[in-house]
Amino acid sequence: MIPTNTLHIETPTLHHAALSARLGKSIYLKMECYQPVGSFKMRGIGAMCQHAVNQGKTRLVSSSGGNAGYAAAYAGNQLGVPVTVVVPDTTSETAQDRMREQNAEVIVHGNVWNDADEHARAIVAENDEAAYVHPFDHPAIWDGHATMMHEASQAMPKPDAVVVAVGGGGLLVGVLQGLHAVGWADVPVLAVETEGAASFYEAHQAGEKRRLSQITSIAKTLGALEVTPELLTWFTRHAITPVLVSDADAVDACLRFADDARVLVEPACGAALSLMYRHTEALADYDSVLMIVCGGAGVTLAQLDAWQEALL
């Protein structure tokens, strides 16, 4: 059952005729880019923020590479509580501006999300009235993200595979929870990352959590040095295939998807979408595919064009 009275909206699950014809498959798109903040983060972060305020917290403090912070800022604005978002210096000015437009205080700290996260936790430790809003590692977040699979199951036939981008792993955990909840536990998942931000790939290969030494991908919203430990519990419970693509693949997919769907998404989302463009071999065994279009608000067309030129 899909929860009511949420901050996120129900997004369409679209059968894309042109992409389906081009690939010789049935391609379905879960359009999380249509959330109020432009990404799937609204589901999980919104749920966690509501939970915190219901528990009596009067301030929200989030760490983010961009989208989680924007979702927290939006949620706080809707709930009537102040929000502080700590971001690394790699977070785009576009993303920072959108947080400020939602009346959030934005603090820039460190070079990667993990640095920003440590600072956010320190702020919360000094304020009993503040709630720490993790971008991907909390049961309320996973439950919130799982709702997209409830919606998809009501809008389409059971797919042969689901394709999802992976950063810290919160979206993937939610998708896996949702698949099991709706009776699609046997549907395999292709988990896509960019080279240089492949914390899930490294963990999956090792069978245990691995910490990257640095993030070198331009897909900074995939830039967690390690995934949530919860994701590791799914290795033996569900068929998950990690897929690595390049930054160039991700940017190319963003631009081509903009033509195909008239929607602008970040390279973090483009990583997953690249399986419909430069990496179609990954879909060879599946006749029906659900693509999670996770979105992203911290990008402009000019940025995508500049990245594409730099990556040529």
**Tens digits of residue pLDDT in 33-55:** 999 999 999 999 999 999 999 99
For residue 265, what pLDDT is reported? Answer: 95
| More confident position, 139 or 215 | 139
Check residue 107 and give its pLDDT. 95
Asked if residues 161 and 289 have their Cβ atoms less than 8 Å apart, the reply is: yes
| pLDDT at residue number 222 | 67
Residue 48: name the closest of 118, 104, 131 by CA.
131
- On average, the pLDDT of the chain sits at 92
Max CA pair span of the chain: 56
- Whole-number Å distance between alpha carbons of 276 and 266: 16
For 102-117, the pLDDT digits (tens) are 999 999 999 888 889 9
**CA–CA separation, 301 and 110 (whole Å):** 27
CA distance 219 to 224: 11
pLDDT score recorded for residue 221: 67
Arithmetic mean of pLDDT, 9-17: 97
pTM equals 0.92
| Residue 22 pLDDT greater than 50, yes or no | yes
pLDDT digits (tens, 9 = 90+) for 268-308: 999 999 999 999 999 999 999 999 999 988 888 998 998 89
Query: Facing residues of 161 across strands?
Result: 289
pLDDT tens-digit readout, 175-228: 999 999 999 999 999 999 999 888 899 989 888 888 888 888 888 766 678 888
Strands (E), the chain: 13-15, 26-31, 59-63, 83-87, 105-108, 130-133, 161-165, 189-194, 240-245, 288-293
pLDDT of residue 3: 41
